[in-house]
Structure 1
Amino acid sequence: MSTAQTAPKNDEQAWRDELRHAIRSPRQLIERLGLSEVNLDGAETAHGDFPLLVPHSYIERIEPGRIDDPLLRQVMPTALETTPQPAGFSTDPLAEQSPDSDSAILQKYANRALLVTTGACAIHCRYCFRRSYPYSQQNSWRAALRYWHREGAPEEVILSGGDPLMLGDQALCELIDGLEQIAGLRRLRIHTRMPIALPARITTALVERFSASPLQIVWVVHANHPQEINDAVCASLARLRHGNMTLLNQSVLLRGVNDDPKPLAQLSEQLFSAGALPYYLHQLDRISGAAHFAVSPTTASSIIAELAASLPGYLLPRLVREDPGAASKTTLAPPPR
């Protein structure tokens, strides 16, 4: 019998318990992983600006004592976050924070809208482009539902955050019920890091509710490095695939994490084996505090060109950049060969 068929059906409390016991301080993480070389003062200063949060199931994939571990670099606060940032880096790199709007709806592109469901995440990635987003100042997703019921919705709604799967099952069911009743809505896309960061969140009950929807469901998960893909992650992705829903992955190109064709090629292969197609490879959104992760456009194009030479086309993610106010993402072509 498959993993998808044997997963617990009513285990919402299990993932909540795991999240409640997640590591939330640099000192805890340093002690857990034996990281004697970490600058604790710098880590705690950055932690004060954007708190550390990482579940134990993710920490188990980090190599103890390795200060340059690619997963550790994604979650450990560093003094580099508090140094002066280069020109072009800001607290609102995608111009999402309109001063005259309290709506949870972000209308960036034609025929689809993004719904900011919650500000909570199961893991705090240090490159997060919404680390300074004013979640507390916006109305709830329930107000967005009322608006769409009154005015009509686009063809596609994208659930984002934070992470939409930080909503409990009851709230998620209420949200899906409301979306299914809106005329004109055809597709629902869920952007989530939970299958990677906290795979226990992908319960059978959750999958059954989404797979029963009359809407076309697309899951966009977020893995950056092959080391993130373990048996538990593969099981969570298998449960989603078992629900006959489309499964894609997006990554962020990060210096010192995955700025090399070899791990990116391995990631594409592992994702495909687990049932997810590579979708986007994003250039870093220029959020203040993350400049040390930036990869130059020239290097990014060289990496994608090497990937194109070694991978079949269906395993090659599109290298893209998001520009504020643009009608779509900008696809960055590899250099001439």
Structure 2
Amino acid sequence: MIQRTTARIEARDPDIEGASWQSLLARSITDPSTLLQRLGLDSSLLGEGSRIGHAAFPVRVPEPWLARIRYGDPADPLLRQVLPLADEGEERPGFVTDPLQEADATAAPGLIRKYRSRALLMVTGQCAINCRYCFRRHFPYEDHRLTPRQRETVIDTLRASPEINEVIFSGGDPLAVNDHLLSQWASALSTVPSLTRLRIHSRLPVVIPQRVDDALLEWIGSTRLSVVMVVHVNHPREIDDQVCRAMARLRQAGATLLNQSVILKGVNDDPDTLQALSERLFDAGILPYYLHGFDPVAGAHHFDVNDQRARELVRQLQARLPGYLVPRLVREVPDRPGKTLLDVGMEEGGE
């Protein structure tokens, strides 16, 4: 167990408020000992498994996220999402490097197609924050880097597939890319007649809300495609006032805001937290969308919550919340034509 140090070191960086998202991204904490020191925790207790995990999937924590972690609390749910623990050095049967078998679904370099009407574009391998439970923590991003010629191949592939009406910007985190390139992608995609929607899966507007700036809003507001922004929030304390302001700006630009969460042991595997999460999301103008069953990725078994427990949690949410605030409990199963809904055995929420 990680213990507290006696000397208090202030976690918050006073330069956060006026900084650009690019500088905040560049200044992210990339060392687990530094992370713990900033939080007043004893870094000497990081074990060999933590070092193995960090070597395989390096720590990355931006300052705005750090500022929301409770100082001196080794069990803080926001800290647990980003700190490599000794468990990461253990191998467990059934926990694999490619749990969704995405290597078999590549339609073109950078383009993954698992479903008939949607295609996923790997815009970048970079993230603003390295979540320890990430199902792509072992993903070979170097094999999906897109050259200008390959970008043309992607557009040609989409033109030749008129059944695809939605492209999903993914990664990594697509909003870690500069807006000039994203605007180019949006313009190119808008020339494909069959496309009607652009979905963006991003953690950045939450972990670095400064990312929602004028340049981002300009291209989102000008594309002919309907833009859906799917953020990724697992705990209500991830949403502060600055995140709420960023979400308001995205809505004003015309984006539809949805959230997907992952059920995570020690983070949100209790009904009070999940209820507070749905309420906080709605306050921020975001609708709960999916609650994902845990993907069995190697190095993250300590986050696993079994489906029986997940179903019970959603049943409790249904008794507490209106239906529109109860996320759908799903699991992504390779080779199936869509997400697999996990039946919870009750009606979908209250009135």
Shorter-chain TM-score range = over 0.9
What is the aligned partner in structure 2 of residue 111 from structure 1? Answer: 117
Alpha carbons of 1:165 and 1:257: their partners in 2 closer, same or farther (altered >3 Å)?
A: same
Alignment match of 1:334 (pick from 313, 333, 344): 344
> Are the counterparts in 2 of residues 248 and 278 from structure 1 also a CA contact under 8 Å?
yes
**CA displacement at 1:323 relative to structure 2:** 0.4
Alignment of 1:21-170 (within 5 A): 21-36=27-42, 39-42=45-48, 43-85=50-92, 87-98=93-104, 103-140=109-146, 142=148, 143-149=150-156, 151-152=160-161, 154-170=164-180
Alpha carbons of 1:17 and 1:139: their partners in 2 closer, same or farther (altered >3 Å)?
A: closer
Relative contact order, higher structure (CA 8 A, sep 6+)? 1
**CA displacement at 1:214 relative to structure 2:** 0.8
Counterpart-to-counterpart distance in 1, 2:338 and 2:291: 15
Counterpart-to-counterpart distance in 2, 1:277 and 1:268: 8
Counterpart-to-counterpart distance in 1, 2:215 and 2:334: 38
Counterpart-to-counterpart distance in 2, 1:144 and 1:325: 26
Alpha carbons of 1:145 and 1:320: their partners in 2 closer, same or farther (altered >3 Å)?
A: farther
**Residue by residue, what CA displacement relative to the aligned partner does 1:229-281 show, whole Å, maximum 9, x if unpaired?**
10111111111111122110000000000001111111111111111100000
> Are the counterparts in 2 of residues 102 and 139 from structure 1 also a CA contact under 8 Å?
no
Paired AA for residue 324 in structure 1: P
TM-score by length of 2: 0.89
**CA displacement at 1:148 relative to structure 2:** 2.7
Alignment of 1:1-337 (within 5 A): 14-36=20-42, 39-42=45-48, 43-85=50-92, 87-98=93-104, 103-140=109-146, 142=148, 143-149=150-156, 151-152=160-161, 154-335=164-345
Alpha carbons of 1:24 and 1:147: their partners in 2 closer, same or farther (altered >3 Å)?
A: closer
What is the aligned partner in structure 2 of residue 4 from structure 1? Answer: none
SS in 1 for 2:29: coil
Paired AA for residue 132 in structure 1: H
Paired AA for residue 129 in structure 2: I
**Residue by residue, what CA displacement relative to the aligned partner does 1:13-49 show, whole Å, maximum 9, x if unpaired?**
8111111111000110011001127632333332111
Counterpart-to-counterpart distance in 1, 2:185 and 2:146: 11
> Are the counterparts in 2 of residues 12 and 201 from structure 1 also a CA contact under 8 Å?
no
Alpha carbons of 1:274 and 1:101: their partners in 2 closer, same or farther (altered >3 Å)?
A: closer
> Are the counterparts in 2 of residues 116 and 141 from structure 1 also a CA contact under 8 Å?
no
**CA displacement at 1:144 relative to structure 2:** 4.3
SS in 2 for 1:108: coil
Alpha carbons of 1:100 and 1:301: their partners in 2 closer, same or farther (altered >3 Å)?
A: closer
Counterpart-to-counterpart distance in 2, 1:277 and 1:41: 39
SS in 2 for 1:98: helix
> Are the counterparts in 2 of residues 53 and 124 from structure 1 also a CA contact under 8 Å?
yes
Counterpart-to-counterpart distance in 2, 1:300 and 1:93: 19
Paired AA for residue 118 in structure 1: T
Task: State percent identity of aligned pairs.
Answer: 46
TM-score by length of 1: 0.92
- Unaligned runs of 5+ residues in structure 2 are 1-16
Counterpart-to-counterpart distance in 1, 2:284 and 2:223: 23
Counterpart-to-counterpart distance in 1, 2:52 and 2:74: 18
Counterpart-to-counterpart distance in 2, 1:12 and 1:91: 39
> Are the counterparts in 2 of residues 117 and 141 from structure 1 also a CA contact under 8 Å?
no
SS in 2 for 1:48: helix
Counterpart-to-counterpart distance in 2, 1:74 and 1:284: 13
**CA displacement at 1:138 relative to structure 2:** 2.1
Paired AA for residue 287 in structure 1: V
What is the aligned partner in structure 1 of residue 9 from structure 2? Answer: none
> Are the counterparts in 2 of residues 190 and 219 from structure 1 also a CA contact under 8 Å?
yes
Counterpart-to-counterpart distance in 2, 1:250 and 1:100: 23
- The total of aligned residue pairs comes to 326
> Are the counterparts in 2 of residues 38 and 67 from structure 1 also a CA contact under 8 Å?
no
**CA displacement at 1:293 relative to structure 2:** 0.3
**CA displacement at 1:335 relative to structure 2:** 4.0
Counterpart-to-counterpart distance in 2, 1:145 and 1:152: 14
- Unaligned runs of 5+ residues in structure 1 are 1-10
Alpha carbons of 1:145 and 1:84: their partners in 2 closer, same or farther (altered >3 Å)?
A: same
> Are the counterparts in 1 of residues 124 and 145 from structure 2 also a CA contact under 8 Å?
no
Paired AA for residue 235 in structure 1: R
**Residue by residue, what CA displacement relative to the aligned partner does 1:191-228 show, whole Å, maximum 9, x if unpaired?**
00011111111112211211211111111000000010
SS in 2 for 1:110: coil
Counterpart-to-counterpart distance in 2, 1:101 and 1:217: 23
